[in-house]
Amino acid sequence: MSMRLESKTALVTGATSNIGRAIAEAFAAEGVHVVVSGRNAERGNEVVDRIRARGGRADFVQADLDGSATASEGLAREATRVLGGRIDVLVNNAGIYPGDTTAATDEKTFDQVYAVNVKAPFFLTAAVAPAMVAAGGGSIINLGSWIARLGIPVGALYSSTKGAVETLTRAWAAEFGPQGVRVNAISPGVVLTPAPGQVHPGEVMMKGTPAGRMGTPDAIANAAVYLAGEESSFVHGIVLDVDGGRTTAAVIAA
């Protein structure tokens, strides 16, 4: 442990798997007391056990962020209690991804995706940011997506929610930055935990990019550690692309 974030506290939503899990584990390795939040208690407690086994501090708080203000406010209250009265870092990571085409998306799905991906982080930030201001500062990190700015034939609904999150990031930076709360976002590329011996379809999307491969959750976690720490104290309102160059360089077909 390097303890770059020693004595800080953090709430990470959607922290029971993939990117959220990696962020929670990376924070704990840097000295953060982390609240791991998600719907699945079994998976959440597994993450907590892994962190504690390595000497870190973590607790699980179960939450179903359905987009209601009540759910977000309830999570904020419980996480604040578990963390001893304050949240220094909030990571809005929880989200759902339906890969349907526009014509195949019904109204119920539309409302659900916007509820989880936009309304839930909106009301969670509304609940947490004022307390950060009162405590003297904090950092909020949102998760965007590379397909918010580079169109693909499926997933228009999901990509539009991530576009909204990136817009909220800039608006919140303007709103809360002058009061000591930094707000930034990370835009992951094609990021998956590699399965031994398997070739994932996502690898095709990274052909011809500067990285030439899919990313791992650890790459996103490292970016989150940077945005949570003092090294990024002059960074406000950015969307940090961690995508292997997928959106910044011309893709050369192999």
Residue 174 domain-assigned? Answer: yes
Residue 247 domain-assigned? Answer: no
d(CA 244, CA 131) in angstroms, rounded, equals 36
User: What are the backbone angles phi and psi of residue 78, rounded to the nearest 5°?
Assistant: -70, -40
Q: Dmax of the chain from CA atoms?
A: 53
Predicted model pTM: 0.96
Tell me the average confidence (pLDDT) per consecutive run of 10 residues in the chain, 254 residues long.
Answer: 88 97 98 98 98 98 98 98 98 94 96 98 98 98 96 94 98 98 97 73 85 94 98 98 94 73
Alpha-carbon torsion 153, 154, 159, 160, what sign?
positive
Domain count, the chain: 1
Residue 78 domain-assigned? Answer: yes
Q: Is residue 158 annotated as a catalytic residue, yes or no?
A: yes
Residue 249 domain-assigned? Answer: no
Instruction: Give the CATH number for residue 54.
Output: 3.40.50.720
**Domain membership of residue 214 as a residue range:** 9-242
Per-residue confidence (pLDDT) for residue 99, from 0 to 100: 82
Residue 216 domain-assigned? Answer: yes
Q: Which of 97, 114, 158, 226 is catalytic?
A: 158
Residue 193 domain-assigned? Answer: yes
Per-residue confidence (pLDDT) for residue 17, from 0 to 100: 95
